[in-house]
A and B are shown apart, each in its own frame.
Chain A
Amino acid sequence: MGKVVFDVQYQTTLAFLISYYFYFTGLSAGSFMISTLSYGFGLEKFKPASKMGVVTAVLLLFLAPQFLLMQVCWPVKSLWHNFVHLNPISAISYGSFLLVLYPLNSIIYGIFMFKENKKWTKIFGLIGIPLALAVHGYTGWILAFGVARDYWNTGLMPIVFLFSAMVSGISMMILMIMIRDRFFTKEKVINHDLIDSLAKILGWLLLVDLFLVFCDYSVLLYSKLEAQEVAHFMLFGKMSFWFVIVENLIGKVIPMAIVMIPGMRKSYFWLILAALMNMAGILVMRVVTVYGGQALPLM
């Protein structure tokens, strides 16, 4: 209605670094889930992926918080202030504990797994599942508790984050298992059954993920003005290339089609392509959610 003559440009607070943090935590949680399928739930088929899953989960969990620390203005101060001056109703506060407990548990779980101690591996694997869910779910809560932003402030956010974590984690595991089997084993033969089962799980999880996105957007478009505007910004505005094309078409729909069609799933070329597209799409999803969710000025 009016033309703005003077207004203070607002600073975008959370952008790429925090998106990378969410992405790598998601990859870690996803690969941890894969590793618990055999030792925690007794699905022997997935046993060849377990050790790789836990090592990847731990390594990524050392990488991910580096981005968090880079994004915080006082990284060293934050390392101890988050524990000493804890605010129990802040989502970031839970995170500082989860980011300590989850890697510790994963390391213990991994040690027992490498020692082939099935009983303790199962126990720590089962303890690790709620921790892995929490460590990635809480990143969704961080955004959901940012109540000023309608794009973030939804109960779906932790669940969307969990599903995107699992799909990107599985895609990464598929690629890593292929590389390991092809180049770092004596037989140099890819374990086809394992890859095929993971790809099937990936397909169904992608379907759920797309359904959640549909739920989220249908509500946003029906909701109050701010929510409508941000949905418009994502679907038809400047963010639409990244959200519609890269995140959802390239990152979710095409990989889902590839892994759902048996003929294409059996072809390693298409499977590698699907996994790579999905990993890239989820990375873009993090940036779209974190940055896009707060790109519109509020007043």
Chain B
Amino acid sequence: MSNPHKNEKNGDKNLPRWGMLIDLDRCVGCHTCEIACKFENDVPLGIWRSWVKEIEKGKQPNVVRSFRPTLCNHCDNPICVKVCPVHASWQREDGMVMIDPHLCVGCKYCMASCPYEVRYIHPQKGIIDKCDFCSTRVDAGLQPSCVEACPASARIFGNLNDPKSELAKLVATKPVSTLKPEMGTGPRVYYVSLDNATMEIKREAKLIWEK
């Protein structure tokens, strides 16, 4: 019985807490973040680590398209980490929720438990995969690729623990919201001007035995 990630925690109080803010007043729905993410992380065809849900609402002439960029929320209290039987889903001290490819056995329990449905099975590796806030880039001092690629600067990435960071200031001063706060997960991806219509719950689904 062992948690292989136990030694990686040193209890340093000065560690950052990474988070992201997506300003939907700025988002133009160009899907560049999707493409940048695919390039950076070599995400196979048909699956996405980060995508932009796009809806159209209203009647002519009053119509609008609303967007909801979706990615892993790197929750403070991640359900996926709790349910993983082998500690393959784990959380770094700076808040990034990671997947250890050597430990994951592909049981898919975390996929079923994630309230945001951001996890997928990597078709070649047979393990679970998802957005990791571009941890290798962030560790090297760079921004996540979706943030860097966004032409409208709608995405702001930074350290929530540092009150002087742009992200912390915006989260403190703007009317932000998170996805499904009632799940008690404490998401660390914040949205400005999030449209509830992009989070509509559906009553019907295409069943797997339907063509």
Q: Which chain A residues have a beta carbon within 8 Å of chain B's beta carbons?
A: 1-8, 10-15, 71-75, 77-78, 81-82, 84-93, 96, 142, 145-149, 225-226, 229, 232-233, 237-239, 291, 294-299
Contacts and interface: CB of A to CB of B under 8 A. Distances in A.
In the complex, which range does the number of interface residues on chain B fall in?
A: 35 or more
A143 to B, nearest CB: 8
Contact of B105 (A6, A73, A226): A73
A108 B24 CA distance: 64
Contacts of B207: 238-239, 295
A230 B169 CA distance: 40
A72 B105 contact: yes
Interface string B112-155: 11111100110000110000000000000000000000000000
Interface stretch (B10-18, B48-56, B91-99, B160-168): B48-56
Contacts of A86: 1-2, 85-86
Interface string B170-211: 000000000110010000000000010111111111011000
A2 B197 contact: yes
A3 B85 contact: no
B86 A147 contact: no
Contact of A291 (B4, B202, B208): B208
B54 A297 contact: no
A4 B207 CA distance: 18
Contact of B86 (A3, A82, A296): A82
A-side interface mostly: loop
B115 A298 contact: yes
Contacts of A71: 107-108
B-side interface mostly: loop
B109 interface: yes
B28 interface: no
A85 B126 contact: no
Contacts of A87: 3, 84-87
B179 to A, nearest CB: 7
B199 A142 contact: no
Contacts of B198: 2, 299
A-B pairs, 7 with minimum CB distance = A73-B106, A2-B55, A2-B57, A73-B126, A92-B85, A78-B105, A148-B115
Given A7-B54, A238-B205, A148 B86 contact: no
A148 B183 contact: yes
Contacts of A237: 203-204
A8 B54 CA distance: 10
Contacts of B108: 13-14, 71-73
Most chain A CB atoms below 10 A, which of B31, B51, B114, B201: B201
B202 A81 contact: no
Nearest to A295: B205
Given A11-B120, A72-B106, A74-B106, A147 B201 contact: no
Nearest to A95: B85
A232 B201 CA distance: 12
Contacts of B56: 2-3, 5
A235 to B, nearest CB: 11
A166 B22 CA distance: 51
Most chain A CB atoms below 10 A, which of B1, B51, B70, B197: B1
A222 to B, nearest CB: 16
A11 B118 CA distance: 10
Contacts of A93: 85
Contacts of A6: 31, 51-54
27 contacts: A2-B197, A3-B56, A4-B53, A4-B54, A7-B54, A14-B108, A14-B109, A14-B112, A72-B106, A84-B2, A86-B2, A87-B85, A87-B87, A90-B85, A91-B83, A92-B83, A92-B85, A145-B82, A146-B112, A147-B183, A229-B203, A237-B203, A238-B205, A295-B207, A296-B201, A296-B202, A299-B70
